[in-house]
Amino acid sequence: MVAATGATFIPPYDHADVIAGQGTAALELLCEVPGLDVLVAPVGGGGLLSGACIAAKALQPGIRVVGAEPLGADDAARSKAAGRLLPQTDPHTLADGLLTSLGELTWPVIRDLVDDIVTVTEAEIVHAMRLSFERAKQLVEPSAAVALAAAMGPALSGARRVGVILSGGNVDLERLPWA
């Protein structure tokens, strides 16, 4: 399409404008709920987490920013632990929006500014989706539920004021485990 129309290709996550745009989610959250201790966002390619981290740390330098990732697609957690970018290999998760590898622009932000990457199991993702559906009456896709699952898990059990970015409502009900 780029060649045929002369359009400009903008990658879905590894682009400065996309990262900046994604950061507005953290800006909105911190304006609505100032004084959060922790901000949690899902991570796939890293655009949302990178943008949210840059914005959150600019507004509130002491905030802890945590990326949430499925255990079956854990390149960000493995990369952070190794201190170098490790590509995604053979990911398997219900959270299909988080199957991609970190990007060349997103990896340095995550490496240097994100405080932790928390992984969650498929069962935890499903539990978080059901909780969101049943209690909050919010339809969230599995990728968004990853952040909620991380916020409810033991890694954040001591945090008092936690903000969670829930983004996306792309849910294929036929693919859900309880369908």
Give residue-wise pLDDT tens across range 83-108.
Answer: 999 999 999 999 999 999 999 999 99
CA distance linking residue 59 with residue 12, whole number of Å: 25
User: What pLDDT was estimated at residue 105?
Assistant: 97
DSSP secondary structure code for residue 90 in this structure: S
Look at residue 103 and tell me if it is in a domain.
Answer: yes
User: What pLDDT was estimated at residue 119?
Assistant: 98
Beta carbons of 120 and 69 less than 8 angstroms apart: yes
User: What pLDDT was estimated at residue 179?
Assistant: 55
Look at residue 154 and tell me if it is in a domain.
Answer: yes
Model pLDDT for residues 21-64, shown as the tens digit of each residue: 999 999 999 999 999 999 999 999 999 999 999 999 999 999 99
Sheet holding 38-42, edge to edge: 116-120, 64-70, 38-42, 162-164
Specify the number of domains making up the chain: 1
Model pLDDT for residues 128-170, shown as the tens digit of each residue: 999 998 999 988 999 999 999 999 999 998 889 999 999 876 7
CA distance linking residue 120 with residue 104, whole number of Å: 24
Look at residue 2 and tell me if it is in a domain.
Answer: no
Q: List the domain range (segments joined by +) for residue 100.
A: 25-169
Q: Is the dihedral of CA 63, 119, 12, 144 positive or negative?
A: negative
Look at residue 175 and tell me if it is in a domain.
Answer: no
DSSP secondary structure code for residue 132 in this structure: I
User: What pLDDT was estimated at residue 178?
Assistant: 61
Look at residue 43 and tell me if it is in a domain.
Answer: yes
The CATH number for 153's domain is 3.40.50.1100
Listed residue (90, 92, 83) closest to 110, CA to CA: 83
Look at residue 1 and tell me if it is in a domain.
Answer: no
Long-range contacts of 120-125 (CB under 8 A, 24+ apart): 120/68, 120/69, 120/70, 120/71, 120/146, 120/149, 120/150, 120/153, 121/70, 121/71, 122/70, 122/71, 122/72, 122/93, 122/94, 122/177, 124/149, 124/152, 124/153, 125/70, 125/93, 125/94, 125/95, 125/149
Look at residue 54 and tell me if it is in a domain.
Answer: yes
Look at residue 61 and tell me if it is in a domain.
Answer: yes
Beta carbons of 35 and 56 less than 8 angstroms apart: no
Confidence of residue 174 (pLDDT cuts 50, 70, 90): confident
Q: pTM of the full predicted structure? A: 0.93
